[in-house]
Chain A
Amino acid sequence: NAGVTQTPKFRILKIGQSMTLQCTQDMNHNYMYWYRQDPGMGLKLIYYSVGAGITDKGEVPNGYNVSRSTTEDFPLRLELAAPSQTSVYFCASSYYGAWDEKLFFGSGTQLSVL
């Protein structure tokens, strides 16, 4: 049981480049999330999904896009990378409606935009 898997673990981008952060979970969770964590700070929600085909914006969605074609996968797309997107990105999932709606995180992607 792998849980929440993110790839890549590290990436350096040049300003203006694009990339996709991959996230997959094998726990049959209906809800999935993308958070970013800036140095010394808490986590901020970028986008979330309540099920396949349904996505919505979080607190800091500008510069990002998401899709959710399957229950398992929730990729995050960065278009025209900017230095302000340098951060650690975490994917997470939970089973909303369960008696215990714990949030499980992937191991994170450290992204630098130079």
Chain B
Amino acid sequence: GIQVEQSPPDLILQEGANSTLRCNFSDSVNNLQWFHQNPWGQLINLFYIPSGTKQNGRLSATTVATERYSLLYISSSQTTDSGVYFCAVEDGTASKLTFGTGTRLQVTL
């Protein structure tokens, strides 16, 4: 099956800093989504982005499907951005998403 690798595995930022999270995948995809899991375990969908660029407030994402990677940008980070960020991809089978192991982000004051 398709492989999904996320980097870095852990990231500590000071509030106000910017960061870039990366997701590499091993095959062409029809569907790519980014999720944030907050410290209470809730999973929130950030972006549906199989290709191109999207922005939502301080967050933006870019997927370069031909080169098999996606980037999530967090600008002016806040403590509420803490948690785990997951990339998930689907390679064409009934919208079944395969998840990466995540990037754990801690934003400190």
Query: Which of A's residues lie within 8 Å of B, judged by CB?
Result: 31, 33, 35, 41-45, 48, 50, 56, 58-59, 88, 90, 94, 96, 100-105, 107-108, 110
Residue of A43, A48, A56, A100 touching B86 (CB-CB under 8 A): A43
CB <8 Å contact, A45 and B96: yes
Note all chain B residues with C-beta closer than 8 A to A45: 96-98
Q: Bin chain B's interface residue count.
A: 20 to 34
CB <8 Å contact, A101 and B41: no
B67 to chain A, nearest CB (A): 22
B33 within 8 A of A: yes
Given A102-B45, A104-B45, also A58-B96 (CB < 8 A) = yes
B95 within 8 A of A: yes
Note all chain B residues with C-beta closer than 8 A to A42: 4, 86, 99-102
The A/B interface has a contact count, at CB < 8 Å, of 54
Instruction: For the A-B complex with A42-B101, A43-B88 known, give 17 more contacts whose Cβ atoms are closer than 8 Å.
Output: A31-B95, A35-B99, A42-B4, A43-B86, A45-B96, A50-B94, A56-B94, A96-B95, A101-B95, A103-B33, A103-B88, A105-B43, A105-B45, A107-B42, A108-B41, A108-B42, A108-B43
A46 to chain B, nearest CB (A): 11
CB <8 Å contact, A101 and B99: no
B106 within 8 A of A: no
A4 to chain B, nearest CB (A): 10
Bound complex: CA of A105 vs CA of B42, how far in Å? 8
Note all chain A residues with C-beta closer than 8 A to B96: 33, 45, 48, 58
- Find the A residue at minimum CB distance from B104: A40
Q: Could you name 10 residue pairs across A and B whose Cβ atoms are closer than 8 Å?
A: A41-B101, A42-B86, A42-B100, A42-B102, A43-B86, A44-B99, A45-B96, A101-B31, A104-B45, A108-B43
